[in-house]
Amino acid sequence: MSPEQRVARVAYFGYLVLFLVYLYVPLAVVMTLAFNASPLPAFPWRGFTLGWFREIGADPFLLRAIWNSVVVGLGVTALSVTVGTATAFLLVRYQFPGKGLLYALALSPLIMPGVILGISMLVFFSDVGLDTGLVTTVLGQSSFIISFVLLIVAARLQKFDVALEEAAQDLGATPLQAVWRVTLPSLRPALVASGIVAFLLSFDNFNTTLFLIGNEATLPIHIYSAVRLGLSPKINAISVVFIVVTVGLGVAYEVLRRREAAVA
């Protein structure tokens, strides 16, 4: 190995270490302080405790916010996967005038700031007489999360061999039965992965939700309100739960993605 290669390798590993430190040390500090017995979320270490996690279960407003996040996340997942999958079939399987324009419009929410999207949806719902709440939050979040589902499902659908559907139809299946019994099972990893992504994006969404949630609160909104009133170790405990759920779902998505890539 030449001196230049050794210097390049050292520089690469040094950069990697600095990047990981920058990315994960703040999370490690937050998670550590969640188990600190100090009444303030700061060092020095005053002893190990799980009391801050027990306070989560004793806070009805926090539990309500978590429940709202789960309800909204499940609603967004169901709506986004359904509409996104149908749109993926439309754009991948069929040719029609304006297909390129429809594809661009379907993906345009990805580049739209969440604040602008939230305000636009708020004005629209107000004009049609729909009160803000969980329903409007599901609809508002789905307006851009559908685009992520579309990309994931369309990528898998493009690799699907249409001859399998044709063979099923030759054996007596209707086109709808062929799609239901042959195509959708083949798309299952992509559907599950897109559902996980949709739930994660919904669960931690803040900008759009802030304008559409009304008098209710999801977990990110509740954390934001609590931090404005002052820092508490309970916020660290909530963050730990949030991180564990997010990482767990992220790992599940990555496992499904790799399994899908191996099958393809």
pLDDT digits (tens, 9 = 90+) for 44-55: 888 888 888 888
154 or 164, which is more confident? 154
Q: Which residues make Cβ contacts (< 8 Å) with residue 187, sequence separation at least 6?
A: 85, 153, 156, 157, 160
For the stretch 29-88, pLDDT in tens is 888 888 888 877 777 888 888 888 888 888 888 889 989 999 999 999 999 999 999 999
Indicate whether 229 pLDDT > 80. Answer: no
Q: What is the DSSP string of 167-229?
A: HHHHTT--HHHHIIIIIHHHHHHHHHHHHHHHHHHHHT--HHHHHH-TT---HHHHHHHHHHH
Report pLDDT for 250.
76
Q: Which domains does the chain have, with CATH numbers?
A: 51-263 (1.10.3720.10)
> 121 with 145: CB under 8 angstroms?
no
